[in-house]
Amino acid sequence: MRTNPIKQLLKSGKPTVGTWLSLGSVTAARFLARSGFDWLTVDVEHSLVNVETTTHMIASIADAGSVPLARVPSNRHDHIKRVLDNGGFGVVVPMVNTRQEAQDAVSACLYPPFGTRSVGGSVHALNFAANPVDYYARANDEILIVLQCEHIQAVRNFEEVYSVPGVDAVFVGPNDLAASMRSADGKPPHPDVFKQALADILAAAKRIGVPAGIHTFSIEEAKSRIADGWQFIAVNSELKFLTDGAKQVVDGLGLGKGGDLAKY
């Protein structure tokens, strides 16, 4: 049975770098799975992708030898179960704000006696190049569990929330985190205040021994985050790569002013 190299890299204190897949394109997933990223995350939360297409995307990533993850729509047992039963090597769970929510997410990822994941599915074993018996026996050791820190309340209670056994990494969604820090009149937080929140997250993650990750939007930012000690690094998305590349050509040839069409 294949092992999950991302779990081992994170445990050893090393950084991992991947990107987000938000277009629901199996073909894009096939190409990016061969591009050198450590992992790829299919975004099922904010995209148009359905479970059938997600399954094919995950399979194409696994067959290329890369590590397929999926961000589920919400922290629900059925969402997590379905992604894992269809071959995901791990999940990214959004908006985890309490210890109970963290416990629920971890439980949904693990088979008894350590969790409440039910036994079923078929293609999960295929993606791990295993038979079902071996998969059921070893999946708990290989599934990557990443919980998102996207609200200032979770930052304030970081150690209580994310110290739940079984959490492999905590991933910051900077857009939602900043949104949760808006003032009563809707103004975004001051850059220094937001920077301090990120520093607090990283420091707390180091205290409890859980790798921290964050979404970045340039090579320079990714390098800076890695140098600071962040380990689970996302850079843009296939959509952002597409629109940034198009904008560069349009602007460079003077065809008009290329628009900023994608946030990430």
Contact 146, 92 (CB under 8 A): yes
The pair of structure tokens assigned to 131 is 């038979």
Of residues 198, 206, 123, the one with CA closest to residue 162: 206
Q: What are phi and psi of 246, to 5 degrees?
A: -65, -40
Of residues 64, 83, 90, the one with CA closest to residue 121: 83
Contact 229, 206 (CB under 8 A): yes
Q: Is 46 an annotated catalytic residue?
A: yes
Contact 149, 171 (CB under 8 A): yes
Amino acid at 11: K
Supply the residues annotated as catalytic: 46
